[in-house]
A = this chain, B = another copy of it.
Amino acid sequence: MTGQVRLALRGPIGRVTLSHPGKLGAMSRAMWRQLRDAFLHIQEDGALRCVVIDGEDGGFCAGGDIAEYPSFRFQPESLRHFHEEEVWGGLGAMLACDVPIVAQIGGACMGAGVEIASCCDIRVAGEAARFGAPIARLGFPMAPRELQLVAAAAGEATLREMLLEAAVLDAVEMKARGFLQRVVPDDKLAGECEATAGRIAQLAPQAARMNKRMLRRLAGRAADAELPAGLAQRAYDYATGAEHREGIAAFLDKRRPLFP
């Protein structure tokens, strides 16, 4: 069982659910591919007017599925393929989606979770939600496109705090930082997101799509946008490095990493 991304359609509103029982919605490689497929489907479906993305059982997404990491992270080529094809396949399909997307964030929103939320138009969280990207504990940096994505949505100050200090911030703080548009009591989260989707679904659908397309073009972050020349050139050379191996080994051994 490697988790799954489910898509459910109900009239003009779609729901994408990140499901990885026992792992708080952590994204496996299969889930990244399913995330891509879900959003390609949504983009093709001319009748949808809003999509809500959430995690199963009131959560969201706690990061990547670290158990899979040893099988591909320690070679630059397979690491590059993972980030540029699999992860960006999913995130890029979300960014390229013209249908408004609401993030319903009920629990841990870490690493991949922050990246997925950064692709959404409206971010609503319950008070219990927590946010971070503590991959420095795992001994590796954020991939270039993902860095650019989160910096744009969460701001550089917040991203630096998450990456360099492994800070974990709560929902009220992430609202103050401008990442979340709304924070509601946990038991009101589902209702608030349903109401938001309902409001969006009554507005002019082509106007929404045109606004999203133009914002994407203005930001120059279309899914197929090239990074500045050479930017990702050596971005994955760290694959074979000692820090990277130690961070992931320590996590899997349930011990504290040692970065001498």
Interface residues of A (CB under 8 A from B): 100, 121-123, 135-142, 144, 147-148, 151-153, 155-161, 163-167, 175-179, 181, 196, 199-200, 202-208, 210-212, 214-215, 217-220, 228, 231, 235, 238, 241, 243-244, 246-247, 257, 259
Residues of B contacting A139 in the complex (Cβ-Cβ under 8 angstroms): 204, 207
Q: A166-B203, A176-B176 are in contact. List 9 more A-B contacts (CB 8 A).
A: A100-B160, A121-B164, A157-B179, A157-B181, A163-B208, A164-B200, A204-B243, A207-B244, A217-B228
A155 and B181 form a contact (CB under 8 A): no
B164 and A203 form a contact (CB under 8 A): yes
A136 and B208 form a contact (CB under 8 A): yes
Which residue of B is nearest A143, CB measured?
B214
The CA-CA distance from A155 to B158 in the complex, in Å, is 14
Residues of B contacting A202 in the complex (Cβ-Cβ under 8 angstroms): 259
Total identical chains:
3
A178 and B164 form a contact (CB under 8 A): no
The CA-CA distance from A220 to B228 in the complex, in Å, is 10
The CA-CA distance from A218 to B221 in the complex, in Å, is 12
Residue from B141, B153, B166, B200 within 8 A of A210 (CB atoms): B141
A147 and B200 form a contact (CB under 8 A): no
B166 and A243 form a contact (CB under 8 A): no
Residue contacts A-B, CB under 8 angstroms, 19 given: A100-B164, A121-B160, A123-B157, A136-B208, A139-B204, A141-B207, A151-B218, A153-B156, A161-B181, A163-B207, A165-B199, A165-B200, A167-B181, A203-B259, A204-B257, A204-B259, A206-B238, A218-B231, A220-B228
